[in-house]
Structure 1
Amino acid sequence: MFKPQTQPRKTALITGACSGIGYEFTCLFASYNYNLVLVDINENKLIEIAERFTQEYNICVTSIAKDLSISTSPEAIYLELQQASIHIDVLVNNAGFGIYGLFNETNLNSELDMIQVNLVCITHLTKLFLKHMVEKGEGKILNVSSTAAFQPGPLMSVYFATKSYILSFSEAIANELEDTGVSVTVLCPGPTQSAFHQRTGTENSQRMKDMKMMDAKTVAAIGFRGLMKGKTVVIPGAKNRILAEAVRFLPRKQVTKISKAVQGH
């Protein structure tokens, strides 16, 4: 059990903070007495959360409404916090979305936006905030990937590829940062109850109807515990952990076929 911290109060930055796993992380960090920097595209929801959490938890909440598919957003976030003298102790790169369909039929602009949010933005924000953490000798970074990271994903090919990048990138820099006082954790949840499936267009698929999904609160709690313990890879749920490991021992072509069947085509 992690005890709420005493002074000096630390600050956590969370992207995609208004819904799903991101919102549950927001609740967790607030309950552990962290000041918050919340980033999301939904400005009205950000304002509502900031006002409510400031009153409920007596913490400082900074809300930054940004579209992370715009390449200049990470730098703008960083500069705004620099100007306000807000230093980030924990960076939670949670924002992301998926697109479902055959690659030759899906929308290119939407997929480029997804690459920007899921992959480029995470890399950019990590680069910007990591330097100060290393100089200070302490800090934590949590990158949200997926069990999709462990195999190719026909019908969600670009999404699966971005999540594979996050896993590989996070494990690599976690190794680089050993003995610096800074830890990097990558959270790889399986299908989770959230608005994610509505955006991808898979919420009415038979696969989603038949699947027993973990709730976002549980996933965030497991991720939070792993982050605080300094774990590198966190996969919530025994079944998800077994499946993630099992694909390592099967021929890649077979794994890809199974993945396509699971996706429902």
Structure 2
Amino acid sequence: MSLPAAAPDRTALVTGASSGIGAEIARELARRGHGVTLVARSAAKLEALAAELGATGVRAEVIACDLTDRAARAGLPGAIEGRGLVVDVLVNNAGLSTLGAVAESDPEAEMDMVELDVVAVVDLCSRILPGMVARGRGAVLNVASTAAFQPLPGQAGYGAGKSFVLSYTQSLAGELKGTGVSATTLCPGPVDTGFGERAGFSKADAEDALPKIMWVPAGEVARAAVDGLDKGRLVVVPGAANRVAAAVAQVTPRTLLLPVLTKGHPAFKNR
């Protein structure tokens, strides 16, 4: 199974496209001739990326949207249809993480994280997949993390959310067999995108916790993601070290794994 062919009335919807992996996936899709619809809260960053992609001759439009807002999110498919476009590729990339023990957490921040990392993925899939199935073509890429393969003390909600995305997308793939629509999960390891800093820990702390061999550039992650999507792969884990680490994490007893993960996490560095 391959990506649907690009066409003037078709678009690839990429959420969280203002920076990092999302922006690089948009660039990679554009390089392959796909028009893109860029979604995030930061209109200025999206406009800059749209101008960059438009200069290459590819159609790129911007929809500034806070994806934690259910009403705003529900309006996305209609806004795209209003531009005479159908979504043939859906990339659910937008996400955030909190940092620290659940017992010390801010409930509102935790709920915002779950809304973006989990609920928005389900919402957009539920709204957009019916059209794909009716047309007999389409591809969904849901971005999880190597955190999906293990518990993550210090980022408990984030790790659990990514486990949800992995399981959910694998189930979608089973449901979609024979429809002409594919579903792929991207599970990157550490990537230098500023994501950690926004969560509350420094790049230095992250590099102390995660060996250099595990870090993969955002552009390389995006290429692996779109290649995997084009080949109809179920799960894409960029980087050999990350694939090994994910496999080991899945078979290691939790009683052995949890103390190591807790001790090594930046959230508990000074405890």
TM-score range, shorter chain: over 0.9
Task: Indicate the residue corresponding to 1:244 in structure 2.
Answer: 246
Task: Indicate the residue corresponding to 1:117 in structure 2.
Answer: 116
- Aligned partner of 2:252: which letter? L
- Of residues 255, 258, 261, the one that matches 1:259 is 261
Q: Give the direction of change, closer, same or farther, for the CA distance of 1:6–1:260 in structure 2 (3 Å limit).
A: closer
The C-alpha deviation readout for 1:65-108, integer Å capped at 9, x for no partner, is 01111122321111211222210010000000111111111211
Q: Shift of the alpha carbon at 1:193?
A: 0.8
The C-alpha deviation readout for 1:47-72, integer Å capped at 9, x for no partner, is 22222322x22122220001111122
Task: Indicate the residue corresponding to 1:132 in structure 2.
Answer: 131
Q: Shift of the alpha carbon at 1:120?
A: 0.3
Unaligned runs of 5+ in 2: none
Task: Indicate the residue corresponding to 2:169 in structure 1.
Answer: 170
Give the distance between the partners of 1:231 and 1:65, measured in 2 at CA. Answer: 30
Give the distance between the partners of 1:199 and 1:38, measured in 2 at CA. Answer: 21
Task: Indicate the residue corresponding to 1:195 in structure 2.
Answer: 194
The C-alpha deviation readout for 1:229-250, integer Å capped at 9, x for no partner, is 0001111111111111112322
Give the distance between the partners of 2:5 and 2:164, measured in 1 at CA. Answer: 33
- Of residues 206, 231, 234, the one that matches 1:232 is 234
Q: Check the 8 A contact 2:6/2:34 in 1, yes or no.
A: no
Q: Shift of the alpha carbon at 1:34?
A: 0.9
- Aligned partner of 2:27: which letter? C
Task: Indicate the residue corresponding to 2:207 in structure 1.
Answer: 208
Task: Indicate the residue corresponding to 1:223 in structure 2.
Answer: 225
How big is the alpha-carbon RMSD for the aligned residues of Structure 1 and Structure 2?
Answer: 1.9
Task: Give secondary structure in 1 for the equivalent of 2:142.
Answer: strand
Task: Say which is worse superposed, 206-215 or 252-261, in terms of deviation.
Answer: 206-215
Q: Check the 8 A contact 2:147/2:163 in 1, yes or no.
A: yes
Task: Say which is worse superposed, 131-140 or 246-255, in terms of deviation.
Answer: 246-255
Seq. identity, %: 36
Unaligned runs of 5+ in 1: none
Task: Indicate the residue corresponding to 2:92 in structure 1.
Answer: 93
Q: Check the 8 A contact 2:9/2:85 in 1, yes or no.
A: no
Tell me how many residue pairs correspond in the alignment.
263
2:159 matched to 1:160?
yes
- Aligned partner of 2:72: which letter? S
Task: Indicate the residue corresponding to 2:185 in structure 1.
Answer: 186
- Aligned partner of 1:103: which letter? V
2:96 matched to 1:80?
no
Give the distance between the partners of 1:147 and 1:10, measured in 2 at CA. Answer: 31
Q: Give the direction of change, closer, same or farther, for the CA distance of 1:90–1:149 in structure 2 (3 Å limit).
A: same
Give the distance between the partners of 1:168 and 1:78, measured in 2 at CA. Answer: 24
The C-alpha deviation readout for 1:127-175, integer Å capped at 9, x for no partner, is 1110010001110000000000011111100000100000000001101
Give the distance between the partners of 2:156 and 2:228, measured in 1 at CA. Answer: 28
Q: Shift of the alpha carbon at 1:211?
A: 3.2
Q: Check the 8 A contact 1:202/1:208 in 2, yes or no.
A: no
Task: Indicate the residue corresponding to 1:28 in structure 2.
Answer: 28
Q: Give the direction of change, closer, same or farther, for the CA distance of 1:104–1:225 in structure 2 (3 Å limit).
A: same
Task: Give secondary structure in 2 for the equivalent of 1:57.
Answer: coil
Q: Check the 8 A contact 1:103/1:157 in 2, yes or no.
A: yes
- Aligned partner of 2:13: which letter? L
Task: Give secondary structure in 1 for the equivalent of 2:58.
Answer: coil
* 1:49-88 alignment runs, 5 A limit: 49-54=49-54, 56-88=55-87
Give the distance between the partners of 2:37 and 2:231, measured in 1 at CA. Answer: 22
Task: Give secondary structure in 2 for the equivalent of 1:73.
Answer: helix
Task: Give secondary structure in 2 for the equivalent of 1:193.
Answer: coil
Give the distance between the partners of 1:189 and 1:118, measured in 2 at CA. Answer: 15
Task: Give secondary structure in 2 for the equivalent of 1:58.
Answer: coil
Q: Shift of the alpha carbon at 1:254?
A: 1.9
Give the distance between the partners of 2:185 and 2:149, measured in 1 at CA. Answer: 13
